[in-house]
Structure 1
């Protein structure tokens, strides 16, 4: 299998065939305390926020960088125009639950999309991870790390030699 053929196979793969199992995802319910979100973010780059584990309806995402807003005092956001969204995300500004700090409407991709679809969306929006959904239900995630692992697995299995 040549590199071009391997990449063609890779690009046409369905996301659902390579995404991790839903039970391995970093997920919290929308009413989870922020301290529990912080505990998860010690070892993860993001946490998905869902209505409930039963419905898995996607509410938002909290990225590691979002924690800056949580930790800053509210007066770090005071401008001449008054309150900002960042103020409301602060622990001292009143945020207590995951939904208070979650970024609403995270970027998603349908589970039947291809690797190429995911790569194009990641490039367009300059993100490293997408929520994989079936309708409004979170069923998985796809990240650049997962895609890299899958490409390397495919190259090894296919016996492709990559020469620069």
Structure 2
């Protein structure tokens, strides 16, 4: 299959058809101890925070780069203009649970959206992963890595050559 044809197919795929199962995703509840979140972030780029495992209402996300805020002392945050809310995101500032430090402004996309919809949103907001939701509940995620894997699968790369 040619790259152009593969991309056309990729763009039309519904997210629900290629997103990983929720069981394989890094998901914690809002009351999860911050140390357990750090253990997950050693090997993942983000952790989704939900209210509870059954309901899975999305509370927020903790990204790998957010660890800097966790490790800095509270006074280090005060030097950033307009970033005083991060003071409480520090372990020394009193953060003990995932819900204390989760970024609540999470970019989401509905599960019936297409890959093209997801790519457009990722580019617009310059992010690499979106929370996939249904009725406000976390049902999956979509990342650039997943999209790359799907394109390579469509091209049957492994033995097949790309045609231009």
Report the TM range for the smaller structure's normalisation: over 0.9
The aligned residue for residue 74 of structure 1 is 74
| Distance in 2 between residues matched to 1:30 and 1:76, nearest whole Å | 25
1:6-52: CA deviation from partner (whole Å, max 9, x where unpaired): 21111000111110011111000001110010010011000000000
Report the count of equivalent residues: 163
1:50-91: CA deviation from partner (whole Å, max 9, x where unpaired): 000010000000000001000000111234989811111000
Shift of residue 113, structure 1, vs aligned partner: 0.4
The aligned residue for residue 108 of structure 2 is 108
| Distance in 2 between residues matched to 1:163 and 1:66, nearest whole Å | 41
Provide the TM-score with structure 2 as the length reference. 0.93
Matches within 5 A, 1:1-164: 1-79=1-79, 84-156=84-156, 161-163=161-163
Q: Note the aligned Cα RMSD (angstroms).
A: 2.0
Provide the TM-score with structure 1 as the length reference. 0.93
| Distance in 2 between residues matched to 1:131 and 1:48, nearest whole Å | 8
Long gaps (5+) in structure 2: none
Long gaps (5+) in structure 1: none
Moved over 3 A (4+): 79-83
Shift of residue 143, structure 1, vs aligned partner: 0.3
